[in-house]
Structure 1
């Protein structure tokens, strides 16, 4: 077998494993929280950290690991990533404690996984770029990114099946894949790049960048938690301070990188038009698209599926099934767009892809809350097609535009911007939805409980935290039971309780407010998608670093 196919297959396994782990955890959270005996509706901080901690860690470490791979070898650090990720998976499956301690253990073990994932993500695109000639990279990267989305789909289905059997299997399933990938990577992958061992690690840059990004992402995460009388924590002095100090450190980082001899963040790469425009389009796309899946899953689980006869315990699994058209759209277009970009370049394909995604966002705003599924499926399939048209050509354009000796740093920079955008997108979408819901949801719930025959419950319904209702829907819990559990027995007439515990009562009560909140988020997503399309169009004509280098040396 030619080495390029060995490199592609191994990096594809790594991406597949990491992406399966992401969605399998999301779908399995109700079973995981029951397994460690903790109520997520009163422990939002644990829920957020299990959801977002992995992304925070990977986003923070990607550039550093990419730079280290240029110094010590991409394959060596990629192999280490496989090993660390597998160890993290084993630890998660063995989580020994329950309650708050068990939740903290899960978060710590997820962070270990995130460290391994950062090694994998930082180096996979660079290893593929090294192994494939420039006229085949688009197709190879398309296949690699299909594995990422296919892994997301597999994770949704596996999570729904395994979490019913035993929540520990959700993490244990990654172990055989991790062991296989670790052995294969250590025995088959070889270093095709030339490590720059004479260069040194940029300690000041690593400290300012890592600490600055961590503080910003911490602020973003805790900004989603209620603070005082507010539904969000954006007014919390600690959140404001974290964001301000983090932003100051990132500004300082730019000046540090201009002074150090061996910078970790190769700012000069942004002088390359294809690199700069491609990364700008990528982070804008991540802002627009990164929170789409979770918003759709929350809506399906909390409203649409219960209205169509599914119990709350079933909705996490079926939400994954009903989002398959989004994955199918991406998978069907990914290799085609990669192949076409090898022949014609990335500019037209990537730009058109983001235009299609933007149109899809605006089409989603036209749907009623009790929409027809074929119409919804067609829209998200269209968005998957657009995303597939963008992803591989854009990545190929970015990676082909940089000199071979800087591919590790470039891959880390690209992945950092993408992961940071995705994490910020989750926070942005959650914030938009929470703020939109807080304006109407308390009144809607109070009116609904009064009409159900329990007017004495209206004051309590008005005080239900929007975050609680949102995460209850996300986790497949019946929020009404949680609400009634806070009342003395025999306070509410049995007839009113019977009405409120009907499967369709809560979804119908919150649906109008929830749908309007989602529309606001989708409008923002559509606008950012069109801006990403403009950035993509500004990348200019096709630019391939090694071809330009050969042509210049020959003149």
Structure 2
């Protein structure tokens, strides 16, 4: 479990750890900010497009093997990023880092399922969920600590000894698959190519819509063309998947009602989280006049509350239906977000902190039971596919949240107060939708309700 936790921690952390260093990287490597953003995008795209293919490969050749190769690629790529002397070299290294991270993330939950006996799996998922949740928001804080004493290459250099440690321990500790692959499972290069093309085009189209400068007509039109091309590839790809006995994009799992509702819950909840996490700094810094340190400490109440709630949520799994626990948690998240949107004109730090903590408690209560259902509702020989979908749902929700926020900020300024408040209201609505999805699981048959 230590190997699994350390691996998922570095893989998730590296998605956001570079953000704070981008201005310095652009300046040192003599690149424009619009080109430097690809240091982040390359990692995210490479991870997103390979989650499902590598999850399927895990079902076929073993989760342990995919995880260890992923960790090896991630570590070697970190060496490349550390010594990169041009933006192109750094982006290439980050692409391979993302491929390694996809190997780690794609089979992460499947390995947790193999590691814990079924009676204790809820606690294992709670530990895993807590690490993912805190790592996904800790990137800027960790980066600030490193950059205060060292230059940006050290953001990647710290991965090397950690990666070697995880790989060495993993060779000894990680379990082998216990069940044979599903009959008819195969690794099709055509399906992999279509999966990569679909997610890449959709991500690029969405990204260009979000960051277009001043709503320029030409870039706006090209963004829509890229997005529509991605949707067209997706339509063809998913139709092809429907004819396969064991599809790469697990349509067969989405036919399980409780699994499909859990995926909808996850996408909507992470959309809410992203809307809030990008919008809140604008609210605290520009509207309420908090310093960067004060804003950082206030926002920290959210992940700290997740850390407090996650172990309790793990103990409640099995005693109460996952759908009920998730519904209550997401109701608390929606309430916390709505209360943040309704803050008075001059709130005290305590007024802000307890609302942040309420959001974190709600998110912590939702995530572990929801992940538990996603991982355990499919048959054991499809654990890899379920694990891949868990990561895909999180990244899809976060991408959707970033796009919605870009749309909000194009109508309402992020600096005047209206934009962040609208973002928080929409985040509360997304959390409410997620709560409905979660509660609907109580009507489905099966042990996870």
TM-score between the two structures when normalised by the length of structure 2:
0.92
After superposition, the C-alpha distances for 1:101-159 in whole angstroms (9 at most, x for unaligned) are x2x33322222111111111110100111222222111111111222234346543331
Q: SS state of the match for residue 242, structure 2?
A: helix
Mapped pair 1:70 → 2:62 = no
**Are the structure 2 counterparts of residues 75 and 218 from structure 1 closer, same or farther at C-alpha, using a change threshold of 3 Å?**
same
Q: Secondary structure at the match of 2:143?
A: helix
Output the CA distance in 2 between the equivalents of 1:67 and 1:415.
13
Contact 1:66/1:122 (CA < 8 Å) preserved in 2? yes
Q: Does 1:436 align with 2:408?
A: no
Partner of 2:80: 91
Alpha-carbon distance between aligned partners in 2 of 1:404 and 1:544, rounded to the nearest angstrom: 15
Aligned to 2:446, what secondary structure does the other structure show? coil
**How many Å separate the matches in 2 of 1:435 and 1:88?**
40
Could you tell me how far 1:50 is from its partner in structure 2? 3.1
* Count of residues paired in the alignment: 445
Structure 2, unpaired ranges of 5+ = none
Query: More deviation in 241-250 or 422-431?
Result: 422-431
- Give the C-alpha shift of residue 44 in structure 1: 2.7
Distance in 2 between residues matched to 1:520 and 1:24, nearest whole Å: 27
> What secondary structure does 2:3 align onto?
helix
1:367–1:50 CA distance, 2 compared to 1 (3 A): farther
Q: Partners in 2 of 1:251 and 1:11 — Cα distance?
A: 35
CA distance in 1, matches of 2:72, 2:238: 33
Q: Secondary structure at the match of 2:319?
A: helix
- Give 1:268's aligned residue: 252
Deviation string, structure 1 residues 196-232 (Cα, Å, up to 9, x no partner): 28732133332323211211110011112335xx436
Distance in structure 2 (CA, Å) of the matches to 1:300 and 1:26: 19
Q: CA deviation at 1:70?
A: 0.5
1:77 deviates by 0.1
Separation in 2, partners of 1:429, 1:61 = 26
Cα distance in 1 for residues equivalent to 2:23 and 2:300 = 21
Moved more, 168-177 or 351-360: 168-177
Change (3 A) 1:203 1:261: farther
Give distance in 2, aligned partners of 1:133 and 1:233.
Answer: 56
Cα contact 1:85–1:117 (8 A) shared by 2: yes
* Residue equivalent to 1:348: 324
Paired position in structure 2 for 1:187: 172
Alignment counterpart, residue 20 of structure 2, candidates 27, 44, 61: 27
The structure whose Rg is larger is 1
Contact 1:15 1:120 in 2 (8 A): yes
2:425 aligned partner: 523
CA contact (8 A) 1:286 1:425 kept: yes
Match of 1:55 in 2: 44
1:22-57: CA deviation from partner (whole Å, max 9, x where unpaired):
342223334433443445xxx33432x333432222
Structure 1 counterpart of 2:34: 44
Equivalent residues of 2:70, 2:99 under 8 A apart: yes
CA distance, structure 1, for counterparts of residue 278 and residue 41 of structure 2:
12
Matching of residue 218 in structure 1 with residue 204 in structure 2: yes
User: Are 1:110 and 2:86 an aligned pair?
Assistant: no
CA displacement 1:173-196 (0-9 Å, x = unmatched): 222211111111123213133352
Q: Which of 76, 81, 84 in structure 1 is aligned with 2:70? A: 81
Secondary structure of 2:378's partner?
Answer: coil
| Residues 170 and 321 of structure 1: CA distance in aligned 2, closer, same or farther (over 3 Å) | farther
Give the 3-state SS of the residue equivalent to 1:259 in structure 2. Answer: coil
Contact 1:363 1:379 in 2 (8 A): yes
In 2: Cα distance, 1:181 partner to 1:91 partner: 19
Over aligned residue pairs, what C-alpha RMSD do you find? 2.4
State the Cα distance separating 1:244 from its structure 2 match. Answer: 0.9
Counterparts of 1:260 and 1:152, CA distance in 2: 34
In structure 2, how many angstroms separate the alpha carbons of the residues matched to 1:300 and 1:216?
32
Q: Distance in 1 between matches of 2:190 and 2:345?
A: 51
Q: Secondary structure at the match of 1:166?
A: coil
Q: What is the CA-CA distance between 1:360 and the residue it aligns to? A: 1.5
SS in 1 for 2:397: helix
Going from structure 1 to structure 2, the CA distance change for 1:148 and 1:420 (only over 3 Å counts) comes to: same
SS in 2 for 1:431: helix
Distance in 2, matches of 1:318 and 1:156, equals 14
SS of residue matched to 2:247: coil
Tell me: CA distance 1:358–1:145, structure 2 relative to 1, closer, same or farther (3 Å).
same
Separation in 2 of the partners of 1:300 and 1:24? 21
Q: 1:520 to 1:51 in 2, by over 3 A?
A: farther
| Structure 1 gap ranges (5+) | 1-7, 438-469, 471-509, 546-555
Question: Could you say which residue in structure 1 is the equivalent of 2:446?
Answer: 543
Q: 1:395 to 1:192 in 2, by over 3 A?
A: same
